Structure 1
Amino acid sequence: MNGKIRDGKLELQKGKRELLEGKREIKEGQERLKEKEQLIQEREQKLHENQQTLIKTFILAMRELNIGETTIKKEIKGKFDLSDKEIKAYFAE
């Protein structure tokens, strides 16, 4: 009987170690996920900034060519996935 109790205690200790190891691995995985999410957000922000710069430069170039605002808006709508409200904001600047 003592052997079974001892074996049971050893098994319990082994289970506790495995549980703690699993919790540690989950925590590390969550930290890695959080870092990757932050990196994605930073890249999305940079992409958005680059798109804004590109659109503004496009508008300036088209205006220098004396192309009308309506035509410029149509071109922007065709080249970028923007709503009419977003396009209008570029011309309000």
Structure 2
Amino acid sequence: MQMAATAAIECTIRAEPDNKSLRLAAVARSATAVSGRYDFLIIKRSETGSSKNVQSGTFILQGGREQVLTTVALDRSAIGHYRAELALQSDHERFTCTSP
């Protein structure tokens, strides 16, 4: 997991495996209130097949609070066989983080 950060916005992608799936959560946090758009791209290639998932939307972050923007569930075979990118676009800057 890689984190991209500036004084205003941080983003991260949390990978949460369980017995049946791998859940990826797109998370953002800001030191101050900020709004913008996000794009969450996940590509998986494993023995059970390939998939590409793209989700996008708007966000409004309150200062000092973490927010889950969206989540995606993949089958367990995705562990070690996926690439995810979360891109945040505010009025003035763009932030990107990836996993793994």
Q: Tell me if TM exceeds 0.5.
A: no
TM-score, length-normalised on structure 1? 0.22
TM-score using structure 2 length = 0.21
Structure of greater relative contact order (alpha carbons < 8 Å, 6+ residues apart): 2
Q: Which has the higher helix share?
A: 1
> Which structure carries more strand by proportion?
2
Q: Which has the larger radius of gyration?
A: 1
